[in-house]
Structure 1
Amino acid sequence: MTDKLRIAVVGAGGWGRQHARIFSRRPDCELVAIAARTPESAARRAAEYGTAGYTDLAAMVKETGPDLVTVCLPNEEHFAPTRALIETGVDLLVEKPLVFDLAEADELLALAAERDLFFGINFNHRYAEPVVRAKAAIDAGELGDLVFLTWRFGGEANRGPSPHANLIETQCHGFDMLEHLGGPIRTVAAQLTDKTYGAYSTVALALSFESGAVGTVLGSYDSSYAYPDSQLIEVNGTTGRATVHDTIRRLTLSRAGDETTRVWEPGYFNDEARSFEGTFDRHVEAVLTALRAGDPPPVPAAAGRRALQIAQATIASFERWTRVDVAEFGR
């Protein structure tokens, strides 16, 4: 690697712009290429950031020699481009969801492992300041033994071909976050509804954790991101409770029996912490630090496989009308 890391971005959509923004502004990086599905979109986004545009991924890697390629494509079109990039031998950071099919996830992970590639996934919620502080409080024992955890996340529909787009594409953040804070999920019991437009747009889940704790998930495409607390995490232990409001907006920490609550909110000048996009900047900082040091990704792509595994157990629970062990779908 040179002093400046050479970065290529695959994807010219709205969140792909965030990828390009970050790497074009970092003084330790050079944005060497942007790839898209059509020549027009590739040329347009590349011109916006003063770099080269591509539609051929193999040619892009060969001609620009990136140290890292980041991938941000439509949710259900991840597999083939990611596989093609792995075959070039380049290190990768991909957007969630990893894929929609467990066999495809296993194939990608195996191919990347064979080539000893750096292969990370962007579960950026982990890097929100309230989540970082909640995790620190849990690890320090401030909440005692965890007893129950709740994830709620709902907004306008992001429709896709899969009837389970909400579960796999959006609530994957919830599965990752609940395990990040509470440890492995053991079983799931599911209720899903297709009441509004045919897909399973709202899900309600009951969970058990390996630790003995229990949990709930309420995830919806039948709500609105305009509502307060459209995203809410509650972690309740034997001696305290933590709540995260709207990912970046607020953290509250309470002690059992104490009516005084500690609150963190970003201050007047703390624009970075109140920005959802800034959680990705923070993750990129950790990614590049690990890449330069030769360490594994801070959030490995296997975490994407794990979220998909829990989603598949959820689907099985709903179809069988019973509680399902997550281990049925692999470890």
Structure 2
Amino acid sequence: MAGSALGIERPGDRDAAPLRVAVVGTGGWGAQHARALAARLDCELVAVVGRDPGRAAVRAADYGARAYTSIDGMLEAEHPDLVTVSLPNEQHFEPTMQLLRAGVPLLVEKPLVFDLDEADALLEAAGDTFFAINFNHRYAEPVLRARAAVQAGELGELVFATWRFGGEANRGPSPHANLIETQCHGFDLLEHLCGPIASISAQMTRMTYGAYSTVALALEFASGAVGTMLGSYDSSYAYPDTQRVELNGTAGRAVIRDTVRELSLQSVGDETERVWRAGYFDDEARSFERTMDRHLDAVLTALRTGAPPPVRASAGRRALELAHAAIRAHETGARVPTLPAGGA
């Protein structure tokens, strides 16, 4: 997975016929969608859709695409093979449903939605349509290496796991914006690394601006391991170790720092750490934004071959389910069971 910003090769399969792709959304992360797609040899970014005509026109012009303010108008004119969606966090449902009803393959940003009934409606409307969600943390180099270590048995049986992630507030109408739109990465990643979460207990505070801006969760995994999550909008992304994941097993420990910055592995009783950091020329691996490019590689491969998405939209529904369980745990003061359908 390693690469370099100094490489002159554009990413993508040069022998594949380019897929026609469109981006819905002209915000900051939508810019990453447009950048990553336009840079590929195996894609042609044909359209950018935005509510503001001026912003849409500027973004489209940046990448040689056409601007639209209507999803239906774009679909009728461009007939895209894939649409990616990056919109304000609490405005996902209607545009996503519109695209699913049109039967177009989708890659959507997290969170899927804020309401479980809406999540179920989207998944039902999707049917067999290719429907992926961008949990891009999974594609960071430290995460890939940590998961490989877990699967190879290097850590033994996992006993506990911790997730901490905090920065400046991204305020919105929901009092649980931090939990649903940001800590969804934690729910997804911990289950990706440690297996299903079986129950949740919760503490939350709204002392700074009225929303539940910092949350502390206690987790039980189906495996018998335990875990913690601390997520905050009362911190700063400028702080070192604003994001930290620790996996502690019977044979060793893995620590991920700031998603893309560093992975350390250590065996029980051994004072020597094995540390991965991106090399001098490996700018790609140290860039958080490039985790989007890595996920796109997997998404496009799956789409071309008729395989399921590498991260299905149902993973977004699962993260939302866990967030709502945490909310119930806080409201009731009780531990809430969270095993997915079918158990462990």
- In 1, are the aligned partners of 2:155 and 2:249 still within 8 Å (CA)? yes
Distance 1:323 1:195 in 2: 23
State yes or no: 1:106 paired with 2:151: no
Q: Quick one: which of 245, 256, 269 aligns to 1:233? A: 245
Q: Which residue of 1 aligns with 2:282?
A: 270
1:72 paired with 2:91, answer no
Q: Is the 8 A contact 2:196 2:340 kept in 1?
A: no
Where in structure 2 are there 5+ consecutive unaligned residues? 1-15
- State the AA in 1 paired with 2:94: A
**Counterpart code for 2:301:** T
Q: Give the match for residue 31 of structure 2.
A: 17
For residue 15 of structure 1, what is the amino acid of its counterpart? W
Give yes or no for contact 1:309–1:329 (8 Å, CA) kept in 2.
no
The aligned runs of 1:127-142 (5 Å cut-off) are: 127-142=139-154
Aligned with 1:184 (options 196, 204, 229): 196
What residue is the counterpart of 1:54 in the other structure? 68
Structure 1 vs Structure 2: percent identity of aligned residues? 67
Following superposition, the deviation at residue 25 of structure 1 comes to: 1.2
Correspondence list, 1:138-153, <5 A = 138-153=150-165
Alpha-carbon distance in structure 2 between the residues aligned to 1:189 and 1:147: 18
- 1:203 matched to 2:254? The reply is no
Amino acid across the alignment from 1:65: H
Contact kept in structure 2, 1:6 and 1:31, CA below 8 Å: yes
d(CA) in 1 for partners of 2:269, 2:340: 40
The separation in 2 between residues aligned to 1:229 and 1:297, in whole angstroms, is 31
- Structure 2 distance, partners of 1:212, 1:49, is 50
Which amino acid counterpart does residue 99 of structure 1 have in structure 2?
A: V
Of 315, 318, 322, the residue aligned with 1:310 is: 322
| d(CA) in 2 for partners of 1:279, 1:27 | 18
CA contact (8 A) 1:313 1:329 kept: no
Deviation at 1:305, TM superposition (A): 0.2
TM-score between the two structures when normalised by the length of structure 2 = 0.94
Deviation readout 1:246-280 (Å, 9 max, x if unpaired): 00000000000111110000011100000001111
For the 8 Å contact 1:100–1:168, the answer to whether it is kept is yes
The equivalent of 2:18 in structure 1 is: 4
- One-letter code of the match for 2:87? L
Contact residue 218 and residue 229 of structure 2 kept, 8 A: yes
Whether 1:84 and 2:98 are equivalent positions in the alignment is yes
Count of aligned residue pairs for this structure pair: 328
**Structure 1 contact 191–205 (Cα < 8 Å) conserved:** yes
Q: Which amino acid aligns with 2:270?
A: D
Per-residue CA deviations over 1:136-171 (Å, capped at 9, x if unaligned) read: 000000000000000000000011110000000000
- For residue 289 of structure 2, give the secondary structure of its aligned residue in structure 1: helix
Shift in Å at residue 327 of structure 1? 4.2
Greater alpha carbon shift after TM alignment, 146-155 vs 56-65: 56-65
What CA distance in whole angstroms lies between the structure 2 residues aligned with 1:249 and 1:79?
33
Q: Kindly indicate whether the alpha-carbon contact (under 8 Å) linking 2:137 and 2:185 is maintained by their aligned counterparts in 1.
A: yes
RMSD: 1.2
- SS in structure 1 at match of 2:284: coil
Give the Cα separation in 2 of the matches to 1:199 and 1:37.
28
Contact 2:196 2:339 in 1 (8 A): no
Structure 2 match to 1:41 = 55
CA shift, 1:47, in A, is 1.5
Contact 2:266 2:273 in 1 (8 A): yes
Q: Check whether the contact 1:158–1:221 (CA below 8 A) recurs between aligned residues.
A: yes
CA distance in 2, matches of 1:284, 1:327: 30
CA shift, 1:58, in A, is 1.2
Is 1:294 aligned to residue 302 of structure 2? no
State how far apart, in whole Å, the 2-side matches of 1:305 and 1:277 are.
23
Q: Is this contact kept in 2: 1:152–1:230, CA < 8 A? A: yes
Amino acid at match of 2:174: S
State the 4+ residue runs in structure 1 displaced beyond 6 angstroms: 328-331
Q: Deviation of residue 88 (structure 1)?
A: 0.8
Q: TM-score, normalised by structure 1?
A: 0.97
One-letter amino acid matched to 1:121:
I
Tell me how far apart the structure 1 counterparts of residues 31 and 50 of structure 2 sit (CA, whole Å). Answer: 12
SS state at 2:159 partner: strand
Distance 1:328 1:53 in 2: 41
Cα distance, 1:329 vs structure 2: 9.4
Q: Quote how far apart the aligned CAs of 1:328 are.
A: 8.7
Q: Residue 324 of structure 2: SS of its match in structure 1?
A: helix
8 Å contact 1:312–1:329 — kept in the other structure? no
**Counterpart for residue 41 of structure 2:** 27
Q: CA deviation at 1:37?
A: 1.2
Question: Counterpart amino acid of 2:259?
Answer: T
For residue 283 of structure 2, what is the amino acid of its counterpart? D
Residue type at the aligned position of 1:184: P
Per the alignment, in what secondary structure is the counterpart of residue 276 of structure 1?
coil
Residue 50 of structure 1: how far off its partner (Å): 1.4
Shift, 1:39, TM fit? 1.6
